[in-house]
Structure formats: C-alpha cells, structure tokens
Structure 1
Amino acid sequence: MPNNSLISTFRPTVHQILLRPHRPDTSGSSTFRLKPYSKNSVSLILSTGEGRLPDLKIMAKKKPIEGVSDQMNAIASQNLDQAPARRRVRLAFTQVQEQLDHVLFKMAPTDIRTEEWFETNSKGQEIFCKSWLPRPGVRIKAAVCFVHGYGDTCTFFFEGIAKKIAAAGYGVYAIDHPGFGLSEGLHGYIPKFSDIVDNVIEQYTKIKGRPEVRGMPRFLLGQSMGGAVALKVHLKEQREWDGVVLVAPMCKIAEEMKPPEPLQKILIFLSRLMPKAKLVPQKDLAELAFRDPQKRKLADYNVISYSDQTRLKTAVELLNATNELESEVEKVSSPLLILHGAADRVTDPNISKFLYEKAASKDKSLKLYEGSYHCILEGESDERIFQVLDDIIAWLDAHCSVR
C-alpha cells in the first residue's frame, strides 16, 4: 500500500480534470487548458503546436513523516524516479520500518528464512525478487507467488504478510514490477500493462523451477491492481497455476468511475504526446484505504511507494486493462478465492461479486468483510488482519497437499 494514495484505479486522474479548448494562437495550433477541479490546484496550459512538449510534473511536496528526524525526512523526500535512489532510501529506512508499532511487524515470525536478489528480465531491466521460506525442517506445501498493486512494493507491509504465510508451511515469493519498488524503470510508469503481466510470467517461471518448490502446487496471490495482473497471468497460463487468491482486486472499473467517452479520447490523445507526464494532483486515499487511524499514519513509512500524480500513459493502460479484463472474466477457470472489504471505496466490492458470478471456475469462493476498507491485510484491526490471513491460509491448505 503506497504511503498517501493507493490508486487501484486511476479515478483521481480522470475525475479531477477538465479539458476545454482554449483560444487558438495565430499559427492555428490547438491549445488545451487543463484545469483541476480542486480550487487549490494549479492550472496548466498545454500546447500541441510545434516544438518539444515538456515532461510536465506538478510535484506535490511530501508531508513530513511523523517520528523521524529531519535528516530521515530529507532522505525520504528525494527524487525517486530511478531505482538506485529508491534502493538507497529503502536501505536507510529498513530498520525504522521493522520497529513500527504494527501487528505485521510486531507479531511476525522470527524464524523465517529470507533471500533477496535481482533478475535481469528479457527487456534488460533489473527486477527485485524476494523469498520467505519456513524455518529449517518444515516441509514446504506449495509456492505462493505475490503480485503487488499499483504504486506499491513487496518490501514493506507485505514482509509481515509473507512471514505469516511462510510460517504456515509455504514458500512465498514476490517481485517488484518494473518501475515500482526496487526494480528498474521510471517510477510509476506503465508503458504497457501487458509488460507487467509478461514480466510476472517470466520471473515466476524461473522461481517455480527453484529446487525447494519444483514440482509443488503453485498459487498466485494478487492484491488490488495485482489482482488484475494475476488474472491476466492466469488467462495466459491456464494450466500453470493451482489456484488464484485475489485481495480487493481491480478487475473492472465501475461505470460511474469511468470518465465520459470524450474525456477518455482526450486522455488517450495526451498520453501519446506526453506519456510520462504527471498532470493531476493526486487525491489522498489513505483515509479511504485504511480504516484504523493509527495504521493509516504508518503507511507514510512506505517511503519507496509511488504516491505522486498518475502518469498519463499509466492511467490509459489501467483503463484499457480493466476494459479487456471485464470481457474476459468468463474465461477464468482456476480455483479462485476473492477477499474484499465490504466498505471498500477504492476498488468496488460489487466488482468482486461480478467476478465471482461470471468466472467459469467451478471451485470459487467470495469473502466480504463487513465494514472493512480497501487494505484488509494492512489497515484494519489486528483481529481482522489475522482473520483475513487465516482465511487465505485455510484456503491454501485445502487446495494443496504436502509433497
């Protein structure tokens, strides 16, 4: 979960902007005025005439993290566009994060074996990988491969989640998507959604061949946008996975959340001219995603998450991906567990109901948690977090056998 804004859809991007024709200049080139709805936001003039269009950014100043020194806040506030900076910041904050007053850190098993490494993918990008294995002597039941959400990383809250699942006898593996976390790529930039899907397939094909889990059952665990990625992976590899677990998945954008058709066309047009541009001030969604106020504050410590404005091309790719997935859900055939907070206003629980009803899977379960928000594994009461984790582990146990 990113520190101020988990954008599981690109709702803040398309609902806060209004584009209208502006007075043309004498050369006849067209100009648009981009005007955020927020009265406190800054308007931009974007020209589509000749000359190089800038990679525009509206850099929102990061709010200070409570409880850390000015020096640490300065480290957290540096430009994280490239992976080396994100890796330095993560290293600086690792010890601080481990001492946070959150059940995922305080109650995490201490005898889990971990390993971190980088793999170079077929596009030449360094991809961060991590594993969590049970303590020595415990037989591994299966491999659980995690797919994180938009803006997120597998090195913060997921550390505690992974250790809990590993302690139950599973080999847990995770990667950071290109452009996110510790992997190479421009921060927050998704040039093609299919690239994320293909990278997940590429990396987990290697991981499934590791000696400790070779030949064992394998499961995908996708959270938020990672749920959409996991479903896309399953649809491309129908026979490669023994089950898919989805936590608050982004698998369809509700009609009321989609921009009007003319605005979609303008968004697509601008994304071709300035694909990497950050144009719209981001809405702070932490209050919507974390029900527990104390845990909400701790989200700020996820210092390498992407919480800046959504890049234009990224927004278009998220829209296109969910449109495609909506038409493909009837092809989902894997054993399926869907878990969603019933009060989630980031990704709609009704969409999880839609997926549950439409999926072709004969073995499928849907669990809705009354009153819970988006981050059911990170932002709820301790009891609810453990309930969700226990539900995941019980489902995994029922769908695999010790080999």
Structure 2
Amino acid sequence: MSCKAFFWPTWMRHLLEDVLVRLLRIFNLPLIIACLGSFLFLKFAAVTIRWGEHERGVARKLASSGYGVFALDYPGFGLSDGLHGYIPSFENLVNDVIEHFSKIKEQKKYQDVPSFLLGESMGGAIALNIHFKQPTAWNGAALIAPLCKFAEDMIPHWLVKQILIGVAKVLPKTKLVPQKEEVKDNIFRDLNKRKLAPYNVLLYKDKPRLGTALELLKATQELEQRLEEVSLPLLIMHGEADIITDPSASKALYEKAKVKDKKLCLYKDAFHTLLEGEPDETIFHVLGDIISWLDEHSSRKNTYQAP
C-alpha cells in the first residue's frame, strides 16, 4: 500500500482472528470485513467503506449480530498516518483498499464465505469503484448516502472552481475550499450529538483541502457516467434532507444500475450521517435495514475471484 495505515498489534489481531474463526465454525456464523474509510465484513463476509471517524459503533453492532469485522482507516483519516483530510489520488486510495482486502480474502479460512461492500459517503464512491475494478468479487453492496454526486450547493461557482483548480496545482494541501455554514449543520441532525462532534479528535473539522476536493469532484463526475455498469446486488440508503451528497444521485443509481436485485431506502427528514448523527430511532432503523439485507443475501454462494 502507498501509505501506512493503523492496525491493531499483530499478536492481538491473530488472537482475535483465531477466536472469531473458531466461533464461526462452531456456530456457523457469517463473517464481515470492514474498511472504515473502509470496512470488510465477513458474515459469510462483508466489506464496508467509510470515512474513518464514525463507524466503530456500527462495527460493534454488526459483530453482535453475528458478523466478523475487519477494519482499516484510510491514509489521512481516522488513526492512519498521512496529512489529515488529504487525498492526493482517489484512484490510488481505491487500489490500496482493494490490495488490503484481497490479502484478507485470499486466506484459506475466508475463501468460502460471501463478501459485501458497505460504504458511507465517500466510502460509497470507493465501494462502487472497487466493484468496477472487481466486478465478480463481491456478493453485494450496501451504500449509505453514497457520494455519487455532490449536492449543487456544495459546488462553488464555475469561475471560483476554475481558480481553485489552478491554485490546487501548486498548493493541493491548502484549506481553501469555501464551505457554507449550513453544510456543517447538516451532518448531525440530533442536536446533542452535534454538540459532541467537536470533541471527536478523529473528525476532520476544517475547510476541505484543495487537492482532496478536486479528487472527489473528479471521482463523482466519472462515477455519474458509469452508473449503468453497476451489476451487483444493491442496498442504497439516503436521508431525504441530505444537502451534502445528493439524494437524487442515489435515485439515479437505483434506476440506472443494470442489476435487478436492488433496493432504495429513503429516510424522511434525515441528514447526511445516518449511522451517527440521527436520533437513535432513525439509527436503529437504518441498522436494522442493513442487517436484514445482509442476512437475506449472506447465504448465497461466494463468487469472489482473486485479482
């Protein structure tokens, strides 16, 4: 991988893996692998992708539902090394995630379980790009507010964007991307959770870095042109009041994806972080939808092929 990522100590990971595998064999439980920034789950195996700040509670919930969970944080996010919030290359980031989870899935003890992608926000875009690079590797994808397209209010005026593109060529790490105040308020709908967010030291709270913003904008523009290529079973979830990632893009993904096994769940009044910033009732609803979908699909034969 191009950057060093945070992992549990080797001895602890091996111990937990051995305990998990023994439990899976004894009770015939499914396994999930998660990338928080990317999650790889194995319930018969699943991989989730996310930013790297929110989903540890989600991983625990999935584990308590009988899923084994492996996780990494993207370089520059969560506990990984790298400049906080900086993505020099979106494609390299996708390749790093593929490399990491391919090594896990190639292990003999994990080869006979189905695998799924679970991605939130930017992780949703990464999950879809993994699918494009490995079209037969995964049994399905659960996407939460996937970044298929930025909401129009998130994109600067054309002239401002051209200026920022020019500056980014020489100052890609600079925090210059303008951001409206209401965007910050749209991340957490629950006021108590919004008040606690500034105390999360893993959460990136500043203006987006120029290089990161342009890499994500380019990635979403390319993704919009490839929605018809999506061919794996899909669960798509989006808050109807999300002004960060565009709910209409999730609707377009649902309509254009060529797979017949697909489901779209829209949550009334919900904001961007469905798994962290909503009232508990909504979070439990979303988690229930994810687990039900994974349970429904996890008994199918794994189609993973090593790259």
Q: Give the TM bin, normalised by the shorter chain.
A: 0.7 to 0.9
128, 131, 137: which one aligns with 2:6: 128
Give the drift of 1:357.
0.7
The one-letter amino acid paired with 1:128 is F
Residue 314 of structure 1: aligned partner:
212
- Tell me, yes or no, if structure 1 residue 270 matches structure 2 residue 167: yes
287, 290, 293: which one aligns with 1:395: 293
| Inter-CA distance 319–202: structure 2 relative to 1 (3 Å threshold) | same
* Separation (CA, whole Å) in 1 of partners of 2:50 and 2:132: 23
Identity %: 50
More moved, 278-287 vs 349-358:
278-287
* Separation (CA, whole Å) in 2 of partners of 1:356 and 1:299: 32
Other structure's SS at 2:245 match: coil
Other structure's SS at 1:352 match: helix
- Tell me, yes or no, if structure 1 residue 215 matches structure 2 residue 104: no
| Conserved 8 A contact 2:240-2:266 | yes
Residue 121 of structure 2: aligned partner:
224
| Conserved 8 A contact 1:332-1:360 | yes
| Conserved 8 A contact 2:168-2:210 | yes
The one-letter amino acid paired with 1:225 is M
Alpha-carbon displacement from aligned partner over 1:354-373 (angstroms, at most 9, x marks no partner): 11111112211000111111
Give the drift of 1:172.
1.6
* Separation (CA, whole Å) in 2 of partners of 1:260 and 1:283: 13
Give the drift of 1:211.
5.2
* Separation (CA, whole Å) in 2 of partners of 1:225 and 1:359: 19
| Inter-CA distance 294–288: structure 2 relative to 1 (3 Å threshold) | same
Give the drift of 1:281.
6.3
| Conserved 8 A contact 1:145-1:218 | no
| Conserved 8 A contact 2:124-2:143 | yes
Q: Provide TM-score, normalisation by structure 2.
A: 0.83
Residue 83 of structure 2: aligned partner:
186
259, 269, 272: which one aligns with 1:371: 269
| Inter-CA distance 240–147: structure 2 relative to 1 (3 Å threshold) | farther
- Tell me, yes or no, if structure 1 residue 330 matches structure 2 residue 212: no
Alpha-carbon displacement from aligned partner over 1:17-42 (angstroms, at most 9, x marks no partner): xxxxxxxxxxxxxxxxxxxxxxxxxx
Q: Provide TM-score, normalisation by structure 1.
A: 0.64
| Inter-CA distance 128–214: structure 2 relative to 1 (3 Å threshold) | farther
Other structure's SS at 1:365 match: strand
Other structure's SS at 2:235 match: strand
More moved, 241-250 vs 209-218:
209-218
Give the drift of 1:263.
3.0
Alpha-carbon displacement from aligned partner over 1:247-274 (angstroms, at most 9, x marks no partner): 0111113456433433332221111111
| Inter-CA distance 304–256: structure 2 relative to 1 (3 Å threshold) | closer
| Inter-CA distance 158–212: structure 2 relative to 1 (3 Å threshold) | farther
The one-letter amino acid paired with 2:247 is P
Residue 144 of structure 2: aligned partner:
247
Residue 352 of structure 1: aligned partner:
250
The one-letter amino acid paired with 1:399 is H
Unpaired runs of 5+ in structure 1?
Answer: 1-120
| Conserved 8 A contact 1:147-1:220 | no
RMSD between aligned residues: 2.5
| Inter-CA distance 220–240: structure 2 relative to 1 (3 Å threshold) | same
Q: Which has the larger radius of gyration?
A: 1
| Inter-CA distance 129–331: structure 2 relative to 1 (3 Å threshold) | farther
Residue 42 of structure 2: aligned partner:
none
* Separation (CA, whole Å) in 2 of partners of 1:256 and 1:294: 26
- Tell me, yes or no, if structure 1 residue 204 matches structure 2 residue 101: yes
Alpha-carbon displacement from aligned partner over 1:20-72 (angstroms, at most 9, x marks no partner): xxxxxxxxxxxxxxxxxxxxxxxxxxxxxxxxxxxxxxxxxxxxxxxxxxxxx
* Separation (CA, whole Å) in 1 of partners of 2:290 and 2:50: 23
Other structure's SS at 1:172 match: strand
Alpha-carbon displacement from aligned partner over 1:154-196 (angstroms, at most 9, x marks no partner): 5xx4221111111112122221111112222111111111111
- Tell me, yes or no, if structure 1 residue 143 matches structure 2 residue 32: yes
The one-letter amino acid paired with 1:193 is F
| Inter-CA distance 305–320: structure 2 relative to 1 (3 Å threshold) | same
- Tell me, yes or no, if structure 1 residue 170 matches structure 2 residue 48: no
* Separation (CA, whole Å) in 1 of partners of 2:189 and 2:67: 29
Residue 291 of structure 1: aligned partner:
189
* Separation (CA, whole Å) in 1 of partners of 2:271 and 2:176: 28
| Conserved 8 A contact 1:288-1:345 | yes
43, 49, 52: which one aligns with 1:153: 52
Give the drift of 1:296.
1.4
| Conserved 8 A contact 1:227-1:250 | yes
The one-letter amino acid paired with 2:171 is M
In terms of fraction of residues, the more helix-rich structure is 2
